[in-house]
């Protein structure tokens, strides 16, 4: 009310001003003051509550749930027995591939043109041309600072005779520490002589996503829907392999690890003492249910978020 008091006092003349003013001027000023006070009173009345808010309306506003972002994601469950991701309509399915690119450094224009034509023909000829609900192919390219997959490749590259030897394990340990250091966001050090940037390591990955939504009115058997997708994936896999590309079909955990980095770009802010890559590996570990039966349906999308989107 202090603000309203100041407003009222600003329009109210002091005794000195009333005495010193002329009679005709005093009447004019009083009219102005009354008009201003009536305007203020009208504004005050508009600020008053109606008094009609019920307890249920109050609780509804206080505890109501906003629309969930997760409800808009298209993934329902990963079907390990078929190697496909079940989409949100519980009928349509999709698959994800990791593509190893072809080295282009020092290649001739003729070689690059031939590879381009092979890839173009593979995309055009591998999928049935459907007028309704056609196949959708999407490509995603990103740089990852998680170099742990490269360590696993080095481990698998070691000759069986030298595997698990003291020298091999020590060499892998040194390399793992080195890759962890160069995988930091700030890098290992700042190159002030040549690039003036952080000296760091990244792995560029390319993902290919294939899916097709099935019409609700279509009474096609679910197994046939999966078979149609797998046939299309086999054709595109063979065609791109002929072009020299290497494709690896992602399983459920690999697909989940890829999406975790999209929806949790900086999880270490909620886990003190852990780096982002440590958090991702921690999220991927399967915890024991202490003998409890597994759920009949696992919401794949809900299991992607460890922080507020």
Per-residue pLDDT of the chain (309 residues; tens, 9 = 90+): 555 455 445 555 554 444 444 445 555 666 677 766 676 566 555 555 566 778 887 777 777 777 788 888 999 889 989 999 999 888 999 999 999 988 888 899 999 999 999 999 999 999 988 888 899 999 999 888 888 888 888 999 999 999 889 999 999 999 999 988 888 878 888 888 888 888 888 888 899 999 999 887 777 788 889 999 999 999 999 999 998 999 999 999 999 999 988 898 888 888 888 888 888 888 876 555 555 555 555 678 888 888 776
CATH topology of domain 75-145+202-250: Alpha-Beta Plaits (3.30.70)
CA–CA dist 157, 141 (Å, integer): 26
> What is each CA distance from 15 to 18, 176, 181, 205, in whole angstroms?
5, 87, 80, 83
Per the CB < 8 A criterion, the answer to whether 197 and 191 are in contact is yes
Write the DSSP string, 116-152.
HHHHHHHHHHSS---SSS--EEEEEEEEE---HHHHH
Cα(34)–Cα(14) distance, integer angstroms: 15
pLDDT at residue 68, rounded to an integer? 82
d(CA 229, CA 222): 11
Q: How far from 2 is each of 5, 17, 34, CA to CA, in Å?
A: 5, 23, 20
pLDDT of amino acid 28:
60
pLDDT reported for residue 208: 96
Asked whether the whole model's pTM tops 0.75, one would answer: no
Q: Report DSSP state, residue 188.
A: S
Contact 299, 256 (CB under 8 A): no
Phi, psi of 286 (to 5 degrees): -85, 125
Instruction: Count how many Cα atoms sit within 13 Å of the Cα of residue 79 in the half-sphere of its side chain.
Output: 18
Both tokens of 114, joined, read 């031939």
* First-last CA distance in the chain: 42
Name the nearest CA neighbour of 227 among 74, 126, 83, 122.
83
Note whether 197 and 118 are within 8 A (CB). Answer: no
C-alpha closest to that of 262 among 211, 299, 304, 201? 304
Write the CB contacts of 212 (distance below 8 Å, at least 6 apart in sequence): 92, 93, 94, 130, 133, 134, 135, 136, 228, 229
Does an H or E element contain 237, and which?
helix 222-242
The residues of the chain that CATH labels 3.30.70.1130 are: 75-145+202-250
Distance CA 153, CA 136 (A): 31
């Amino acid at each position: 009310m202090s603000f309203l008091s100041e407003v009222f006092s600003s329009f109210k003349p002091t005794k000195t001003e009333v005495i010193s003013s002329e009679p005709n001027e005093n009447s004019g000023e009083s009219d102005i003051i009354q008009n201003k006070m009536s305007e203020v009173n009208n504004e005050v009345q508009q600020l008053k509550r109606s008094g009609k808010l019920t307890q249920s309306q109050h609780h509804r506003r206080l505890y109501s749930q906003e629309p969930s972002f997760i409800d808009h994601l298209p993934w329902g469950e990963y079907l390990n027995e078929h190697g496909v991701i079940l989409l949100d309509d519980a009928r349509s399915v999709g698959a994800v591939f990791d593509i190893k690119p072809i080295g282009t450094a020092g290649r001739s224009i003729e070689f690059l043109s031939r590879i381009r034509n092979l890839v173009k023909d593979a995309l055009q000829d591998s999928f049935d041309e459907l007028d309704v609900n056609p196949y959708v192919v999407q490509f995603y390219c990103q740089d990852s600072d998680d170099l742990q997959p490269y360590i696993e490749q080095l481990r698998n590259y070691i000759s069986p005779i030298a595997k698990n030897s003291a020298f091999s394990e020590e060499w892998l340990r040194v390399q793992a520490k080195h890759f962890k250091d160069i995988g930091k966001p700030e890098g290992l050090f700042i190159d002030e002589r040549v690039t003036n940037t952080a000296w760091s390591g990244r792995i560029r990955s390319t993902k290919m996503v294939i899916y097709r939504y099935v019409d609700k009115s279509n009474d096609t058997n679910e197994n046939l829907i999966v078979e149609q997708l797998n046939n299309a994936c086999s054709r595109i896999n063979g065609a791109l392999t002929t072009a020299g590309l290497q494709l690896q079909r992602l399983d459920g955990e690999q697909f989940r690890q890829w999406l975790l980095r999209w929806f949790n770009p900086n999880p270490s802010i909620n886990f003190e003492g852990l780096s982002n890559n440590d958090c991702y590996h921690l999220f991927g570990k399967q915890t024991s249910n202490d003998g409890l039966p597994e759920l009949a349906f696992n919401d794949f999308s809900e299991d992607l978020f460890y922080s507020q989107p």
